[in-house]
Amino acid sequence: MSSKKNKGKPKSSSNDRQSKLYIYGTGLVLTLAIVGATAFSILNSNNKESALDLAASKPIAGVQSFTGLSRNHIATDLAPTTLPPTGGDHAANWTKCGIYSSPVNTSMSVHSLEHGAAWISYQPTLPKDQIKTLESFVTPSSYRLIAPYDNLASPIVLSAWGKQLSVDDASDSRIAVFLKAFTQGPDTPEPGAPC
């Protein structure tokens, strides 16, 4: 009997099959873990956003409302006060939304409020870790500005057109709720105008 030579691929050994199963199995488990973690993260984020939306739709403890605010452009700066204005006469130009490490022009910032911005003011002596927490609420397209404010009556003051909230600490949960409710809020005279 003549023996034929085996042409093509050699037969896989049992060890080779086990190695491939182990590699593919591990890859599958890792893929499923990544998909599961991503899905959990998205669901968790959606739940937090839904909870924030719900809280923002209800009255927020400590928020003061101001009505009958004028909207005239003026050529002079507003006089310093212990609380930022929540509206009224203001400069013809606005403060660009963003993060500032020194006080911003009050008259221009009121114009930003007219466009729907939320203004986060803090005492210059506020601890740096709290300032970082507050800055995390301000992104390039968030319609928010943050800056220190001289002689501020409270450690942190949040202002939007016709609305204001004073808090003592950056960890106060009302901050996120205020910003959700009043950035481009219902009382904004010119929502969507540049900031």
DSSP string of the chain? -PPPPPPSSPPPPHHHHHHHHHHHHHHHHHHHHHHHHHHHHHHHHHHHHHHHHHHHTS--TT-EE--S----B-SSPPPP-SS--SSSSB-SS-PPSEE-SSPPPHHHHHHHHHTT-EEEEE-TTS-HHHHHHHHTT--TTS-EEEEE-TT-SSSEEEEETTEEEEES-TT-THHHHHHHHHTT-TT-SSTT---
CATH number where 74 lies: 3.40.30
Among 79, 60, 65, which residue's Cα sits nearest to residue 161?
A: 65
| pTM, to two decimals | 0.75
Q: Give the rounded percent of residues in the chain with a pLDDT score beyond 70.
A: 76
52 and 115 belong to one structural domain: no
* Count of other CB atoms within 10 angstroms of residue 86: 22
Residue 154 belongs to some domain of the structure: yes
Instruction: Give tens-digit pLDDT for 19-57.
Output: 666 676 666 666 655 655 554 445 444 566 787 888 888
User: What is the reported pLDDT for 152?
Assistant: 97
Is residue 195 in some structural domain? Answer: no
Which residue type, as a one-letter code, is found at position 106?
T
Q: What is the mean pLDDT of residues 134-155?
A: 96
Q: Which domain holds residue 106?
A: 64-182
Residue 70 lies in a domain: yes
Shared domain check, 167 and 75: yes
Is 190 part of any domain?
A: no
